[in-house]
Homo-oligomer: A and B are copies of this chain.
């Protein structure tokens, strides 16, 4: 069911671009750049949020600075017909999984995993392998990023998951 056709014009696009580049830019600042008043910008941003074009705001963090030094992509192979629903549950049980999706090709799913170090990664991998219908995994360790400024080089999730690297954990 298609939602109501929301008029998504150039102005909206420019606003999204501005907030993508700087999520804390003020409405006045954005307005000055695209020729709109701050109130008009606010109204549009509110609408973009209500229609879930913009789903939130977040600080971009360099995981390495927080002690997350290891990263890998993991192909997951499941038994026979593995229901994606159950796979999703499994994925949510492991906070080190930063992203997960079903994909075409031999594997049933591809996971993006962040860990503190290689030992931690190994532990995560064993934990995942223990899950019911996981048959095998193939890991590709990330060596270096070719787009350091990309969203995925820095991440937002690592701040939250379970055990934080050094000492103190995050209380919640």
Contacts and interface: CB of A to CB of B under 8 A. Distances in A.
Interface string A17-49: 101111110000000000000000000000000
A7 B168 CA distance: 8
Q: In which size bucket is the chain A interface?
A: 35 or more
A140 B55 contact: no
A99 B145 contact: yes
A69 to B, nearest CB: 13
Contacts of A102: 142-144, 146
Main secondary structure of the interface of A (DSSP, over half): mixed
A76 to B, nearest CB: 10
A127 to B, nearest CB: 16
Contact of A21 (B16, B58, B73): B58
A101 B142 contact: yes
Contacts of A53: 61-62, 65-66, 170
14 contacts: A3-B170, A8-B66, A17-B160, A20-B61, A23-B57, A55-B154, A98-B147, A98-B151, A99-B145, A100-B146, A101-B142, A107-B140, A151-B152, A152-B152
A8 B32 CA distance: 37
A164 interface: yes
